[in-house]
Amino acid sequence: MEYRFSSRMGRVPESFLKELFRVSSVPGVISFAGGLPGSAYIDVEGIREAAREVFAEEGRTALQYTTTDGYLPLREFIADRYRRRLGLPATPEEIQIVNGSQQCLDLVAKIFLDPGDAVGMERPGYLGAIEAFSLYEPDFYSVPLEEDGPDLVAFASLIRDRAPKFFYGIPNSQNPSGRTYSEGKRRAVAEILEGTDTIFYEDDAFGELFFDGKPRLPVKHHLPEQTVISGSFSKIVAPGMRIGWIYAPAPVLREFNVAKQAADLHSNFLCQVILHRYLATHDLDAHVARVSAVYGEHCRLMCELLDDLMPPGTTHTNPEGGMFMTAALPGGVSSMEVFSEGVREGVAVLPGVPFYVGGGGEDTIRLNFSAAGEEEIVEGMHRLARVVRRLA
C-alpha cells in the first residue's frame, strides 16, 4: 500500500542522527559527535537511594496519574532556584514540567506557528530545534551568531521586517558553537524586542554549566513578559529521566498546558517524584560545580590540542561553559569528508551543515567535550588532526 503521510513530514530535514548513532556505536571509534553528558558524572547511587525511598514511602501516589503541570514540590524547587541563583521572581505557577526541554520546542512551535509563519533563530542554530519547528512548516530566518551573541543589525531588521512569532536563541554556551551572549547583547536583544509582538524563546539547557561557576543573567530578566525560558535536568542530573521545564508568562502557559495535555497528559510522574526526592536530599550546587569543573578541563584540553595539532587556518570557538565547541576547517576542507574519513581513522565529529537553515556550515564541525575522558580526547584529537592534515 501507499502510506499517505502528511505533507509536514516532508518538511523535516533528513536527520543525521541515525548515521551518527550507527557510527558512534562502532567499536574503537572515539566520538566527539554526540551530545551526551559524561556518564561518569551521573549519580547512580544517589538516584537509586532516592528511588528506594519513594517506592517505600509514597509508591502508590508516585505511580498514579497526576496533573499536566507537574509535581508541585519539583516546580517549587525550580522556582526557588531561579529566585536564588538569578534573582528572577519565579513562582511555581509560572513553571510546568515537560518531557525533557526538547518537548518545549515541539509544544511552543505547536501553540504559536501556522504554516508560513516566520521564525527567527541563530545561525548556526540547534539542530533539534530546526527539526522540531520544521514539523509546523514555518519560514526560517536566521541571524549570524557572533562571538558575543547575535549580529544586532541583522537581528533588528529581522524583527522589524519579518515580525517573527518568536526568536529562538541559546544565550548560554550555545549548541553547536559554545558561544555565550555578552551582558550588553542580552540587554540590546531585549530592547529591540520590547514593544513588538515577537516572543524571545530562551533555551537555557546549559546555563548551569559555566566553568567559572558564575551564572549569567537571562534575557528574561530584561524582558519578563515577552520571554519564554526552557530548562532541563538532563545536563545536570540525568538525561534519561527526561525531565525539563518551561517558565513562561501566564497566557503562554495556558495554551501550553492545553497542548501538553493533548500530547501526553503529563510527564513521567514517577521520575518527577524520584528526582525531587534526589534534589531534596543531595547538594545539587556541589554536583554541578564538580561537573562544570571537569567539562572546563576537557574544553581547555580540546582547545589546546586544536591549536597545537591542526593545520594552519583552523580556528575554533572558546566556550565559557556547556558541552560543545565549533571548529572551522582550513580552506577547502569539507566537513562531510572529515566525517567519513574520521570514522575510518577512528574518530567521529559532527559536520556543521545540519545546524544551518538554508545552507552553510560546510567547513565547520561540532565537537563535544563532555562525553569522552581526557585520554580519549588526546587520542581522538590526534586522529582528527591526521585526517584534517591529509585533506588540507
State the nearest-atom distance from the C-beta of 35 to ligand PLP, in Å. 4
Q: Provide the sign of the torsion angle of the four alpha carbons 35, 38, 42, 44, taken in this order.
A: positive
Smallest distance, ligand PLP to C-beta of residue 104, A: 8
Residue 284: closest CA among 178, 209, 220: 209
Residue (107 or 310) nearer to ligand PLP, CB: 107
The two beta strands, 95-98 and 199-203, are unpaired
Can you tell me the distance from the alpha carbon of 217 to that of 224, in angstroms, rounded to the nearest whole number?
Answer: 12
Give the H or E element holding residue 385.
helix 374-391
Angle in degrees, 0-180, between the axes of helices 44-62 and 269-281, rounded to the nearest 10: 130
- When binding is defined by CB under 6 A, the residue of 70, 124, 128, 319 that contacts ligand PLP is 128
Cis bond before residue 224 (omega within 30° of 0): no
100 sits near ligand PLP (criterion: CB under 6 A): yes
Q: Which is nearer to ligand PLP, 269 or 355 (CB)?
A: 355
The piece of 99-107, 143-151, 254-262, 379-387 that touches ligand PLP (CB under 6 A) is 99-107
Contact call for residue 201 and ligand PLP (CB under 6 A): no
- Report the residue number, 232 or 317, with the smaller CB distance to ligand PLP: 232
- Binding of residue 203 to ligand PLP (CB under 6 A): yes
Q: Tell me which H or E stretch contains 142.
A: strand 139-146
Q: How far is the CB of 179 from ligand PLP (least distance, A)?
A: 12
Does 126 contact ligand PLP by CB under 6 A? yes
Cell of 79: 522556582
Q: How far is the CB of 210 from ligand PLP (least distance, A)?
A: 15
**∠ at Cα 150 (149, 152), nearest 5°?**
120
Q: Minimum distance from CB of 119 to ligand PLP (Å)?
A: 15
- The residue sitting closest to ligand PLP, measured at its beta carbon, is 100
Residue with cell 572551522: 328
Query: Which range of residues in 10-18, 59-67, 216-224, 231-239 is near ligand PLP by CB under 6 A?
Result: 231-239
Look up residue 279 and give its three cell numbers.
534534589
User: Cβ 85 to ligand PLP, closest distance in Å?
Assistant: 18
267 touches ligand PLP by CB under 6 A: no
Residues 148-187 that bind ligand PLP (CB under 6 A): 170, 175
Distance CA 97, CA 198 (A): 24
Stretch that binds ligand PLP, among 94-102, 157-165, 259-267, 344-352 (CB under 6 A): 94-102
Alpha-carbon dihedral angle through residues 95, 268, 172, 15, given to the nearest 10 degrees: -130
- Nearest Cα neighbor of 127 from 354, 286, 350, 289 is 354
Q: Classify burial at 268, counting beta carbons within 10 Å of its beta carbon; exposed 0-12, middle 13-18, buried 19 or more.
A: middle
Closest-CA residue to 51 (of 273, 240, 242, 280): 273
Specify the residue, 232 or 292, whose C-beta has the smaller distance to ligand PLP.
232
Our CB check for ligand PLP shows the closer of 100 and 342 to be: 100
CA distance 333 to 45: 45
CB of 157 to ligand PLP, least distance (A): 25
Judged by CB under 6 A, does residue 205 bind ligand PLP? yes
* Euclidean distance between CA atoms 365 and 328, whole angstroms: 7
101 binds ligand PLP (CB under 6 A): yes
> Of 210 and 310, which CB lies nearer to ligand PLP in the complex structure?
210
Q: Which is nearer to ligand PLP, 35 or 380 (CB)?
A: 35
> Nearest distance from residue 234's CB to ligand PLP, in Å?
3
Amino acid in the structure at residue 318: N
With CB under 6 A as the contact rule, the residue among 66, 142, 198, 234 that binds ligand PLP is 234
The type of residue at 96 is Q
Q: Which residues bind ligand PLP (CB under 6 A)?
A: 35, 100-102, 126, 128, 170, 175, 203, 205, 232, 234, 239, 244
